Amino acid sequence: MLHLQTRTEHFTSPLYLESGRILEPFDIIFETYGTLNEVKDNVVVVTHALTGSHHAAGYYEDDKKPGWWDGFIGPGKAIDTDRFFVICSNVIGSCFGSTGPMSRMFPYDEPYRYKFPVVSIKDMVKAQRLLFDRLGLHKVHAIVGGSMGAMQALQFAVSYPNFASKIIAMAGTHATQPWAIAFNKIAQEAILRDPGFKQGYYDPDEVRKEGLHGMAIGRMAGHISFLSHESMARKFGREYRRDDGLFELFGKFQVETYLEYNGFNFTKWFDPLSYLYITKAINIFDLARGFDSLEEAIGQIKAELHLIGFEKDLLFLPSEMIKIHEIARKFGLTCNYLEVPSDYGHDAFLVELEKFDTYVKDALG
C-alpha cells in the first residue's frame, strides 16, 4: 500500500543559516508513504529537484497527474513502499508549503519577498534534519535524490555522516559548474526584467492567473538544458505547426510551440521569487565549502555511496559524478558508479526509470 499522508511541522526555534542569518519561525511540509516499522530502520528519504515538491508519488483527490516520481515510488517499485517508509519534504525557499520568500514574515502580516534570506543546499538539509529529529528519525536506511536532490543527498552524507546508511545520488554534481550557472542566469534576468515582476512586489494571484512572460522565457532556456540534441530531434523532428505557413514570419516549428506552452504554464504554478532563491542555492552549491578541499569533504562520508550519471546529461556531466566516485574510492569508501546509456539528457532520471530502477532496488538491499 502507498499510505500517502501529508503533514506540516512548525518550528519556533531559530534556523541558523550558512550566511550567518537566521530564519525564525519556519514550516516544513512533507509527505510519507508506506509504514514505519517498530525499530524505525526502514526509512528512505527522497529529496526533490528545483521545481519538485514533497508530493513525490500518488494522487491527490483532484490530481490529473501523480507525484513527480510516481513511477519510482510505490508498492513493488524501485523504492518499494511495501518494504520502506518513504519521506519527502519540501525544501525551505520553495513555494509549496515550506517557508519561502512569499511566506508571512513573522510578526508582520506581509510576505518576506526580498527580505527572505539566501538559503543554501546545506541550509535546506539542516532544516530537514531538524524535521527528522522531531519525528524521532535519528538514522535512516537511505537518502535518494536526483539533480538538486542529489546535491542534498551528498550534503547529508558530508554534514551528517552517521545519519544515512546509504546515499543514492543521480544526475548531480559536487559543485555547480559554469554551464548550469549560465542557464540559471538567463532565467533570473528574464524574471527580473519583466515589468509584471514589479521588482519583486507582484501580486501572486495575478501571476497565477496571467502568467509571467519573462519567467516563461527563462523556463524555456532551462528546459533546453534538461534535454539533449537527440531527444529533441526524436520528439519533434522538423515538424511544423499544421496551421502555420513555412514562410510566415511567426510560423512555428512544433518544438517552438512546445517550449512556449510549457514555459507559460510553468509560471502559473511556480512562484518567481522562489525560482530566484532556489536557483541561487543551486548556483552556490559546493560540497567542498567549509573544507580545504573536495577530498577533505568527501573524507567525512561514512555512508555507502551509489552514484548514477547519464551519458548525454548536458547540465551535470557524468564526469562530475565520476570525480566524486574516484575520490571516495581513494578513501576506501564503499562507492559504486553506474553510467546510464541514454541520449535523453538531464531529465532521464525522471523519465527513463527502467534503465536504472533495478540498480536502485539492489542498492537499497
- Dump the DSSP string for 210-276: H--HHHHHHHHHHHHHHS-HHHHHHHHTTPBPTTS-TT-TT--BHHHHHHHHHHHHHTTTS-HHHHH
321, pLDDT greater than 90: yes
The active-site residue out of 70, 286, 346, 347 is: 346
pLDDT at 40 > cutoff 90: yes
Joined together, the cell numbers standing for residue 64 give 490529473
Nearest to 314 by CA among 147, 69, 72: 147
313 noted as active-site residue: yes
pLDDT in tens, 196-244: 999 999 999 999 999 999 999 999 999 999 999 999 999 999 999 888 8
Q: pLDDT, tens digit, for every residue of 75-130?
A: 999 999 999 999 999 999 999 999 999 999 999 999 999 999 999 999 999 999 99
* Residue 174, all three cell numbers: 559536487
Domains of the chain: 5-176+286-364 (3.40.50.1820), 180-280 (1.10.1740.110)
Q: Calculate mean pLDDT across residues 28-34.
A: 98
Q: Are 183 and 153 in contact (CB under 8 A)?
A: no
Place of cell 501580486: 203
**pLDDT value at residue 243:** 86
Task: Return d(Cα 310, Cα 29) in angstroms, integer.
Answer: 30
pLDDT single digits (tens) 292-314: 999 999 999 999 999 999 999 99
Q: With 90 as the cut, is the pLDDT of residue 136 above it? A: yes
CA distance 157 to 302: 7
Q: Which of 1, 67, 7 is nearest to 35 (CA)?
A: 1
For the question of residue 147 being annotated catalytic, the response is yes
Identify the active-site residue in 286, 313, 325, 342: 313
Q: What is the pLDDT of residue 71?
A: 97
Work out the angle between the directed axes of helices 121-134 and 148-159 (0-180°, nearest 10): 70
**Which residue among the candidates 94, 103, 147, 274 is catalytic per the annotation?**
147
Averaged pLDDT for residues 17-28 = 98
Cell numbers placing 323: 570525480
* pLDDT digit string, tens, across residues 262-271: 999 999 999 9
Band (2; pLDDT cuts 50, 70, 90):
very high
Q: In the prediction, which pLDDT does 158 show?
A: 98
Q: Is the model's pLDDT at 18 over the cut of 90?
A: yes
pLDDT value of position 275: 98
Rounded Cα–Cα distance for residues 5 and 348 (Å): 28
**1 pLDDT exceeds 90?**
no
Residues 324, 137: Cα–Cα separation, whole Å: 27
* pLDDT, the chain, mean: 96
pTM given for the model: 0.97
